[in-house]
Structure 1
Amino acid sequence: MPPLPRGWWQRNWKWAVPLAVLALLSVALVFVALVLFAVRGSMQSSDVYADALARARAHPDLVVRLGEPMTPGFMPMGRIDTSTEGGGSGYADLTFTLSGPHGSGRITATAERMRGVWLYEQLVFMPPRGIDGRIDLVERGTPVGPADALP
């Protein structure tokens, strides 16, 4: 009796398994990239991030220290929680890097939203470790955004 012919899997498993693993890894990588870009986009479109970046770029001491143009890092870190109850409340705690021709550092923005208005708890530039020179960019209670845009 002649031997049974080998099936497709028996003939091709040596290249099919690595190809299937590679395909699964590619799908997972695309999914992670989509999630990261969605988070990055939502952070960068927030009022607190946009205002913190604009204030940092306009602060005279920071312009001297970092030089122009100043560019933010790729991925802001932190969280933004908002609610529409009670006229709009929320909390933001963001950190992002800012670099210029003369150096770089980290911007930390903490703000609270009450009745629809964001107020800074702090907006601070921190240089790299071991270098003195913390710069407070706003006073506590400063509204986020231009003063004439507030209700």
Structure 2
Amino acid sequence: MEYDNELVEQPSWWKRNWKWAVPVGGCLTIIILFITVIGIGAAGIISSVKENTNHDEVLAKVQTEQEVIDALGEPIETNGIGSYNINISNGNRSAKAVVPIKGPKGNGEIYVTTTGPKENLVYEQLEVYIFDEDRIIPLLEVTDDEDF
């Protein structure tokens, strides 16, 4: 006797697989949400720290310094995230940053130390270390304008 399987109704994919699809889908959703929240938080922290150390203005200043251009070439751009440290104690704020930079001729780092509020930063240190030449180029002596 031959059976015709087309007449037997098969359960849907969901009915056959819900026992593993629900936990796996739920776990994946939680993991994706967790990674997204951590990523957004990290991006916000990095953005805030870069703002408090005047990262963009400092990089623009370095990109226009002829001595740095001669050592690294053009264009000069960041080469990673770098390291940032902000201390706020009793209303006094200080920030330190080490920003890796690169150019066609080599690599270096920008060292920045600032104090005071964002609106009135005082630069205590602003210099570029050139790796290949093992040389530091001070940038605070180049200008008297501490606001750039």
The two structures have a TM-score, normalised by structure 1, of: 0.68
Displacement of 1:93: 0.7
Q: Which amino acid aligns with 2:46?
A: R
Aligned positions of 1:59-98 closer than 5 A = 59-81=65-87, 89-98=92-101
- The total of aligned residue pairs comes to 132
Contact 2:53 2:114 in 1 (8 A): no
Cα 1:75–1:30, aligned 2, differ >3 Å: closer, same or farther? Answer: same
The answer for unaligned runs of 5 or more in structure 1 is 1-7, 147-151
1:41–1:13 Cα change, 3 Å: same
2:43 corresponds in structure 1 to 37
Measure, in 2, the Cα distance between the counterparts of 1:144 and 1:107.
Answer: 16
What amino acid is aligned across from residue 130 of structure 2 in structure 1? P
Tell me which residue corresponds to 1:53. Answer: 59
- Quick check: 1:144 aligned with 2:146? yes
Poorly superposed stretches of 4+, deviation over 4 Å: 81-85
Q: CA RMSD of the aligned region, Å?
A: 3.1
For 2:85 and 2:139, the matched residues in 1 are separated by: 20
Could you tell me how far apart the structure 1 residues matched to 2:80 and 2:45 are? 12
